[in-house]
């Protein structure tokens, strides 16, 4: 078996949840990694332990697969690769705000094939495979569907922080902000899940790593959404990324952001 089952994605999430929840809203030793434009980019033992236990399970089940993780980098080579972010949103994790999550992605020949976002505080898992995009809770599994809005004046835009806006003056964020109904900040990866769920229409981020976005691509795409870089390239490589509820809205937003409208 080379492709993971939903059961195995849940098994990875269960293991990560045990490590993160045990440390959430508890005193933690925190260090900072260097990151352009940020004076503080935290990492904790919760990040490291959650990734470690997921790697152990993957190695036991799929020893021929490679793994790319935020905390321990790249190990292995091959067609199939796991892409892990043990805590996407370490800052809100440290603040006790539950918009962080564990991101688990799987790629085949560099393309995102399945993914899961696990938020253990709210007990929600957003995941996707070849069967569709789903929200799973203790109440059961429901399909996700992105918004059908195509009028920019009715759209809701999200970007995580104003720091990216300040550093990317070549991107016409002000133009898009002026065109939409409302802009909000601070939702981390949860905002992408809400795009798949039809609550948010546009998510713009300026400096994503593959582990920040690969696990979310299948969830958004299988729900009907679109994810690319600002130059229209593959989002799996990270960088400046726009996710939209549908293709019509995506094209219109890109034109504004690139100064073509």
14 annotated as belonging to a binding site for a ligand: no
CB atoms < 10 A from the CB of 42, how many? 16
231 is in an annotated binding site: no
DSSP codes, 122-178: TTEEEEEETTEEEEEETTEEEE--------GGG-EEE-S-HHHHHH-TTS-HHHHHH
For residue 88, say whether it is annotated as part of any ligand binding site: yes
Residue 199 neighbours by CB distance under 10 Å? 14
Say whether 177 counts as a known binding-site residue: no
Question: Annotated binding residue at 124?
Answer: no
> Annotated binding residues, as ranges?
70, 85, 87-88, 212
> Annotated binding residues for Mg(2+), as ranges?
70, 85, 87-88, 212
């Amino acid at each position: 078996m080379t492709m993971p089952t939903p059961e195995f994605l849940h098994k990875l999430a269960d293991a990560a949840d045990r490590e993160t929840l045990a440390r959430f809203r508890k005193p933690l030793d925190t260090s900072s990694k260097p990151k352009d434009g940020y004076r503080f980019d935290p990492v904790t033992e919760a990040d490291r332990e959650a990734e470690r236990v997921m790697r152990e399970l993957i190695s036991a089940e799929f020893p021929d697969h490679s793994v790319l993780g935020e905390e321990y980098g790249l190990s292995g080579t091959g067609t199939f690769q796991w892409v892990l972010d043990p805590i996407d949103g370490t800052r809100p994790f440290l603040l006790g705000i539950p918009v962080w999550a564990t991101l688990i992605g799987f790629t085949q020949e560099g393309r995102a094939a399945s993914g899961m976002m696990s938020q253990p505080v709210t007990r929600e898992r957003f995941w996707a495979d070849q069967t569709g995009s789903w929200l799973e809770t203790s109440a059961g599994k429901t399909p996700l569907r992105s918004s059908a809005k195509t009028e920019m004046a009715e759209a809701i835009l999200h970007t995580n922080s104003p720091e990216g806006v300040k550093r990317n003056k070549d991107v016409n964020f002000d133009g898009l902000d002026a065109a939409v109904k409302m802009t909000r900040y601070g939702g981390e990866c949860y905002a992408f899940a809400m795009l798949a769920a039809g609550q948010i229409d546009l998510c713009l981020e300026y400096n994503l790593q593959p582990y920040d976005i690969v696990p979310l691509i299948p969830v958004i795409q299988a729900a009907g959404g679109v994810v690319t870089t600002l130059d229209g390239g593959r989002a799996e490589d990270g960088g400046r990324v726009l996710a939209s509820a549908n293709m019509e809205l995506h094209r219109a937003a890109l034109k504004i952001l690139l100064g073509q409208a």
